[in-house]
Amino acid sequence: MKTLPLKIILLVAALWLSCPVYAAKNILVFGDSLSAGYGIAVAESWPTLLQQKLARSHPAYRVVNASISGETAQGGRQRIAGALRQHRPAVVIVELGANDGLRGFNVADIEANLGNIIEEILAARASVLLVGMRMPPNYGMTYTMQFEKMYRTLAEKYRIRLLPYLFEGVAPGQFQPDNLHPAKEAQPQLMRNVLEKLKPLLR
């Protein structure tokens, strides 16, 4: 039996090593306590439910949750570059701004921080799904309107997908005692809200 020449062996090896490695495409959830599963088991949180759903419908994707309870848009701006380097996502779900709003931060500053996050994601050639929130009416009509409009403005400016309101369809009784964080019963609805807007980005 003839032995293959060394040149052919090396050529085959080089071609094999140059072939792309097919791995799951990461969907990075980059948010605050609303995405980190505050007050409930992580297995019950909407990002985990999203992973379970995509495992059946879009198995090429994997959900990575980099959300931190208490996170602000400013804090997210400081850590987005590291998250992008670490996870190399195909899609980033940005769910930030609620904590800034609850602390009464200037809407223009929140918008600037979210804009910077979006720009870094787009520069990394990842798609963005921006998740909007609303402020309670006791913050005043002017502030609540400016805050809600901010997400639409960002989506239009950067031409990205927008989920206008994460809590859409969540019943009043599906919140934890603080009336801020959705209970486990609300998580399937949150997942469906996100998935509806996410699907067009899953190529």
Give the catalytic positions in this structure. Answer: 33, 178, 181
Q: In what order do the strands lie in the sheet with 91-95?
A: 61-65, 25-31, 91-95, 127-131, 161-163
Tokens of 181: 């964080």
Residue 20: helix, strand or coil by DSSP? coil
Sign of CA dihedral 95, 96, 101, 102: positive
Do 31 and 96 touch, CB atoms closer than 8 A? Answer: yes
β-strand 91-95 against 25-31: which pairing, if any? Answer: parallel
